[in-house]
Amino acid sequence: MDRLLCCVTLSLLGLGLLQTNAFDVHVTDLANKTCIYASMKANFTIQYDTNNDTRADVTLQAPDSVNASGSRCGEGTEAPLLMVAFGNGLSWSLNFTKNDTKYSSDVLTFTYNTSDTKLFPDAKRQGLLTSTSHSSFFGAVPLNETYKCDHGDTVISENVQQLYWNVILQAYVQNSTLGNEFRCSADSPTPSPTAHNTTSATTPKPTTKPVDNPAVGNYFVSNGTGKCLLASMGLQINTSLQVDGKNIWTVLNIDPNTTESSGSCGNDSAILRLNDHNATVVEFNFLLKKNNFHLQEVNVTLRNGSATSQTVNSNLSLWDASVGNSYLCHKEQLISVSEDLHINTFSVRVQPFSVQNGTYSTAEECFDSDLNFLIPIAVGTVLIFMIVLVFISYLIGRRKSRTGYQSV
Ligand SMILES: *[C@@H]1O[C@H](CO)[C@@H](O)[C@H](O)[C@H]1NC(C)=O
Ligand SMILES: *[C@@H]1O[C@H](CO)[C@@H](O)[C@H](O)[C@H]1NC(C)=O
Ligand SMILES: *[C@@H]1O[C@H](CO)[C@@H](O)[C@H](O)[C@H]1NC(C)=O
Ligand SMILES: *[C@@H]1O[C@H](CO)[C@@H](O)[C@H](O)[C@H]1NC(C)=O
Ligand SMILES: *[C@@H]1O[C@H](CO)[C@@H](O)[C@H](O)[C@H]1NC(C)=O
Ligand SMILES: *[C@@H]1O[C@H](CO)[C@@H](O)[C@H](O)[C@H]1NC(C)=O
Ligand SMILES: *[C@@H]1O[C@H](CO)[C@@H](O)[C@H](O)[C@H]1NC(C)=O
Ligand SMILES: *[C@@H]1O[C@H](CO)[C@@H](O)[C@H](O)[C@H]1NC(C)=O
Ligand SMILES: *[C@@H]1O[C@H](CO)[C@@H](O)[C@H](O)[C@H]1NC(C)=O
Ligand SMILES: *[C@@H]1O[C@H](CO)[C@@H](O)[C@H](O)[C@H]1NC(C)=O
Ligand SMILES: *[C@@H]1O[C@H](CO)[C@@H](O)[C@H](O)[C@H]1NC(C)=O
Ligand SMILES: *[C@@H]1O[C@H](CO)[C@@H](O)[C@H](O)[C@H]1NC(C)=O
């Protein structure tokens, strides 16, 4: 059991006096050999509900001094874990997996303490809250190489947005020696000079072929007595896959013919779950506040063989309309679920609450930026023109009547 325990040394970056909002951690094993090295700058933005039903957000920076004693090198089937604790009950952790040639991060966890009234004034829910993300912190990195990324990268998980930059990280370090540098794609837009085959023939090109718009599907959710949620829309998932350390965006249309809808209807929240048997589950969570509803959360689960990835954005405020009406938007819209996953929506009509007779109620159309911008300008121009016209004809009329009187 002792062999599972690890010693952790921790060094502070820079001159100690400098506030760099970066931490620098070596995780070492019993033989005092480094197994994980991490240095990065990070900002965390946390949203929380306050007692007066508003949402507040707080941004904090990772300090240069952290406690990494919860980390471990991992042995046997146990995954290596990098865990840093700081401040009052705050912690951040990342565990790792590897195969024969590559390693990657698995689950990212951020824990914060809303009982801390200094940091989270007026928080409604108090206690230790945890937000996790399965979206890869970095792509697959060759074993014995050090991942480096100066560019910022954002990870969005439930109620927390995490921004990282100046990242240097290696897990499964051998002989306490960091390996060659493996740059993130954001830092090196051109193929890295270490790549052997840099001829254009072997460089994967992003797919630029135009993609068909998805078919619009009609979906509903029923309760015991009838349809309680109606939705129709075309959905297209645009996700970035890591291929050899490069981000390749791929587009996937949801086929209504193979998609089943399910969900639940509540008094102030409703869920629509679309399950495309090809591999995708998209869940829409609607909330009712006062007299309006809106789309609050979207949760996308992508399956590829036995691998699943889940991406959630719980901080949306889209598709807003009054209760008793439906929301309608013909134009294409974008829902940003994470940095690496967007949804393009087409011809959306939804009514998550107060469905009468299984049919849509009056539609509230989305703001069409092109038209709505022009209408007031057009109306204003016409009004001004008419006022000027009336004024001129009044002046002409007056002059005519004066000359008329004079001639008599
Ligand atoms: C581990 O190594 C560091 C420096 O290499 C040294 O300062 C520290 O005392 C060592 N710890 C143990 C337990 O041997
Ligand atoms: C990190 O957060 C601090 C404090 O809120 C802010 O001043 C700084 O600009 C942020 N850095 C970045 C890169 O967003
Ligand atoms: C709600 O509370 C926050 C923080 O305590 C405060 O800034 C905000 O003005 C309050 N809003 C209302 C509507 O009372
Ligand atoms: C990483 O940690 C999460 C829970 O924090 C766990 O579910 C997952 O299995 C771990 N990954 C590995 C490879 O052990
Ligand atoms: C959370 O904050 C409260 C209030 O500051 C404190 O009493 C408690 O010990 C903290 N919890 C942890 C796990 O640090
Ligand atoms: C680690 O050291 C061993 C023995 O000194 C050597 O055989 C091995 O190649 C080294 N591994 C790396 C990645 O440097
Ligand atoms: C089911 O939904 C309909 C339409 O919204 C509503 O009138 C009815 O009361 C609901 N029934 C139950 C059991 O909730
Ligand atoms: C997918 O997202 C990428 C990155 O935002 C963008 O460049 C690309 O045009 C998008 N593709 C579609 C079909 O929306
Ligand atoms: C769905 O099925 C209908 C009728 O069977 C067919 O006309 C349509 O092309 C199908 N749509 C897709 C996207 O396969
Ligand atoms: C996202 O959807 C999956 C599958 O439907 C579910 O297991 C998971 O709990 C959902 N996560 C959140 C945060 O809603
Ligand atoms: C599914 O996984 C296989 C093997 O890992 C990979 O080659 C393929 O590109 C993946 N497909 C998608 C759509 O992610
Ligand atoms: C629902 O349908 C019934 C019969 O088709 C009709 O009598 C009733 O007026 C409808 N109610 C509403 C609210 O449209």
Q: Take atom 3 of ligand 1 and give the residue whose Cα is closest.
A: 32
Residues 332 and 229 in one domain: yes
Whether residue 396 has pLDDT greater than 80 = no
Check if 166 has its Cβ closer than 6 Å to any atom of ligand 4. Answer: no
pLDDT at residue 12, as a whole number:
32
Ligand nearest to the CA of 244: 11
Strand partners, 328: 349, 365
Check if 257 has its Cβ closer than 6 Å to any atom of ligand 9. Answer: yes
Digit-coded pLDDT (tens) for 323-379: 999 999 999 999 999 988 999 999 999 999 999 999 999 999 987 645 545 555 666
Establish if 208 belongs to a structural domain.
no
CA 236: distance to chain centroid? 16
What spacing in Å lies between the alpha carbon of 65 and ligand 5's midpoint?
Answer: 19
Total domains in the chain come to: 2
Check if 163 has its Cβ closer than 6 Å to any atom of ligand 2. Answer: yes
Residue 368 burial (CB count, 10 A): 13
Residues 21 and 105 in one domain: yes
Portion of the chain with pLDDT greater than 90, in percent: 52
pLDDT at residue 38, as a whole number:
95
The residue out of 170, 187, 204 marking a domain boundary is: 187
Q: 């046997």: which residue's tokens?
A: 76
pLDDT at residue 324, as a whole number:
94
Residues 165 and 241 in one domain: no
Residues 145 and 65 in one domain: yes
Q: Is 265 helix (H, G, I), strand (E, B) or coil?
A: strand
Average pLDDT, the chain: 82
Write out the DSSP string of 86-151: ETTTEEEEEEEEE-SSEEEEEEEEEEEETT-TTTSTTBSS-SEEEEEE-S-SS--EETTEEEEE-S
Portion of the chain with pLDDT greater than 70, in percent: 83
Is residue 26 within 8 A of residue 169, CB to CB? The reply is no
Pick the range with the lowest mean pLDDT from 33-37, 200-204, 261-265, 382-386.
Answer: 200-204
- CATH code, 280: 2.40.160.110
What spacing in Å lies between the alpha carbon of 217 and ligand 9's midpoint?
Answer: 10
Check if 107 has its Cβ closer than 6 Å to any atom of ligand 4. Answer: yes
Query: What number does the ligand 6 atom closest to the CA of 179 have?
Result: 13
Digit-coded pLDDT (tens) for 45-56: 898 988 988 888
Digit-coded pLDDT (tens) for 58-106: 999 998 889 999 999 998 889 999 999 999 999 999 999 999 999 999 9
Residues 237 and 365 in one domain: yes
pLDDT at residue 392, as a whole number:
76
Digit-coded pLDDT (tens) for 147-173: 998 888 877 788 888 888 899 999 999
What spacing in Å lies between the alpha carbon of 131 and ligand 10's midpoint?
Answer: 13
Range of the domain at 236: 217-369
Give the burial string for 296-328 (b: 16+ CB within 10 Å, else e): bbbbbbbeeeeeebebbbbbbebbebbbebbbb
Establish if 399 belongs to a structural domain.
no
Check if 180 has its Cβ closer than 6 Å to any atom of ligand 6. Answer: no
